[in-house]
Amino acid sequence: MTRSFEAEDPLAAAIAPPPDETPSQREARERSEAEARRVSDEIDKQIRSERAALQRRRDSVRVLLLGQSESGKSTTLKNFQMQYARETWQEERSSWRSIIQLNLIRSIVSLLDVLDSAMTNPHLPLTPASSRPRTADRTTSPPPVRTDPPPLPLEFSELHRILRLRLAPLRGVQQDLERRLGAAAEEVVASSMRTEALPLPPGARERSSEEFAVRSRDGWRSALERFRPRGGDVQETARAAEWRNRKAAEVTEVLAGCGEDMKALWEDSVMREILRRSKRRMEEEPGFFLNDIERIAKRDYEPSDDDIIRARLRTLGVQEYKFYVEQAGHDWYMFDVGGARSSRAHWYPYFDDVNAIIFLAPISCFDERLREDRRVNRLEDSYMLWQTLCSLRLLAKTQIILFLNKCDLLEQKLRSGVKVVDHVPSFGDRGNDVETVKKYFQTHFKEIAKQHSPEPRRFYVHLTSVVDTRATAATLRTVEDGILRASLRRADLL
């Protein structure tokens, strides 16, 4: 019976054991068959898990945050983290304390620097014409510079000398904190001679993202790691933990001791006059906490959600964050990048693998220049970056969402009397009110997208102040819906 079946089935005949098989041959054959089965099962398992990973990746949503340095990318990411990764947010809370302390100390040291130079030059003039930013307008030449009468000399008192002396130790504390925090604590100051907004390095497309994942360790997370209290970490010796806690306590102690003097310096009328004359608006600078000295310079200071959102720590390289967005039922991967010119070449490897890009352009910066290249107007730099992204064929089908950010600062700036037309001549005689200005910039970005996109694309824009967490939560919900719908549509088409 068996033989006739084998005769009919060539495969069964081929794999059937030889009719004269000895018991030891049979044992060896069964052993090798079992091994082959094990290997085959292993391969099946691997294929199944790779397929599942691929499916998970297909189901996940990948969003890239882009924009120049200080445009608000990390702040936007923090809004996501606060909403969807509450546990990590809570874990990192106390680590932000040192960064906020450093932000505050840095502002005080800036005030001391300004005071020092004013005391050696009490006839402090207004900002010299040569340091005015290059116009953000590409069509018209800048207007003539107005000349004002010479200002009265500033009058300094004993209080100023005492404050300089008493607050001097903060310089050492700043250096110490910056050393412990690493490169992310420093702001970019190098003057790049490149003028293109988004340089493409040779071979950039071929680079793998892993190369940058290593660099990402230098950023926000690792910087926070260095300050995280790790009492229960078995890896760490008790001495190292004690050293870290002692250092943190020393900084807190110095700050608590300087609290009143810091407040006196910030509220001093002569100090305010110096700032006014040098056109220095501390409120608009990143990591501004001078109005919170009383609260922060305390021994038991614990950062609030709002403090963490407003804390400034620059991003190096590219950092990946994963969130589970419950209402969408998807994993979201967000990539936060460093926006300084020297970091932009690192963006390219991420372009072909994202569902959407959130591009942040701070519109309050129409009268400011890039930190890394003082010749370049910040609004002009955002226009150039936006144009480059819109025109890339690789991104022709990628949803790009524009956040015209820092609207709160724009409003503040216009209210303080800064005229857009002085920096953007093509603005002409339009009203210098916030609504007109926002509309004008928005139209300009829309025009660039229309003119430079290789295929027609929808213009998604939000006017934002991402330090406002409530308003941002509502914006992000709209953005999430839009991204999800677009990615589902794309999945349907595939």
| Binding site residues, ligand GTP, CB under 6 A | 67, 69-75, 286-287, 310, 312, 314-315, 338-340, 405-406, 408-409, 465-467
> Does residue number 343 form part of the binding site for Mg ion (CB under 5 A)?
no
Decide: is 103 part of the binding site for Mg ion (CB under 5 A).
Answer: no
> Order of strands, edge to edge, in the sheet holding 460-463?
318-325, 330-337, 61-67, 356-362, 399-405, 460-463
Rounded to a whole number of angstroms, the minimum distance from the CB of residue 365 to ligand GTP is: 10
Which residue's CB is nearer to ligand GTP, number 289 or number 460? Answer: 289
| 315 is a contact residue toward Mg ion (CB under 5 A) | yes
| Distance of closest approach, residue 336 Cβ to Mg ion, in angstroms | 6
Min separation Cβ 70 and ligand GTP, Å: 4
Rounded to whole angstroms, the Cα distance separating 126 from 46 reads 69
The CB-of-69 to ligand GTP minimum distance in angstroms stands at 4
Question: Does 76 sit near Mg ion (CB under 5 A)?
Answer: no
Q: Can residue 71 be called a binding residue for Mg ion (CB under 5 A)?
A: no
Q: How many CA atoms lie within 13 A of 446 on its CB side?
A: 11
Q: Could you tell which of Mg ion, ligand GTP, none binds residue 453, using a CB distance below 5 to 8 A set by kind?
A: none
Q: Which residues contact 304 (CB under 8 A, 6 or more apart)?
A: none
- Shortest distance, position 441 Cβ to ligand GTP, whole Å: 14
Query: In this complex, which beta carbon is closest to ligand GTP, that of residue 106 or of residue 312?
Result: 312
Q: Which CB atom, from 303 or from 487, has the smaller least distance to Mg ion?
A: 303
> What is the largest distance, in Å, between two alpha-carbon atoms of the chain?
118
Least distance in Å: CB of 212 to Mg ion? 14
Q: Give the one entry of ligand GTP, Mg ion, none that residue 100 binds, where binding means its C-beta sits below a cut-off of 5 to 8 angstroms depending on kind.
A: none
Residue closer to ligand GTP by CB (options 287, 349) is 287
Smaller CB separation from ligand GTP, 163 or 311: 311
Q: Which is nearer to ligand GTP, 310 or 346 (CB)?
A: 310
Give the nearer residue to ligand GTP in terms of CB position, either 111 or 463. 463
The CA distance from 173 to 146, in Å, is 41
In sequence order, the 6+-apart residues with CB closer than 8 A to the CB of 371 are 69, 70, 187, 188, 189, 340
Would you say 122 and 318 are in contact if contact means Cβ atoms under 8 Å apart? no
Nearest to 390 by CA among 364, 414, 357: 357
Residue 317 touches which member of Mg ion, ligand GTP, none, C-beta under 5-8 Å by kind:
none
Nearest distance from C-beta of residue 319 to ligand GTP, angstroms: 9
Residue 72: how many CA atoms within 13 Å on its side-chain side?
30
Stretch in the footprint of Mg ion (CB under 5 A) among 68-76, 91-99, 343-351, 399-407: 68-76
From residue 260 to residue 289, the character string flagging contacts with Mg ion as x (rule: CB under 5 A) and all else as - is ------------------------------
Residue 355 contact among ligand GTP, Mg ion, none, beta carbon within 5 to 8 Å by kind: none
How near is the Cβ of 346 to ligand GTP at its closest, in Å?
11
Closest by Cα among 406, 474, 476 to 434? 406
Under the binding rule (CB under 5 A), the answer on residue 74 touching Mg ion is: yes
Radius of gyration of the chain (CA): 30
Bin 203: left if φ > 0, else alpha if -120 < ψ < 50, else beta. left
In the bound state with ligand GTP, the residue whose beta carbon lies nearer, of 76 and 355, is 76
Nearest to 66 by CA among 320, 342, 389: 389
Q: Where do contacts with Mg ion occur on this chain (CB under 5 A)? A: 73-74, 315
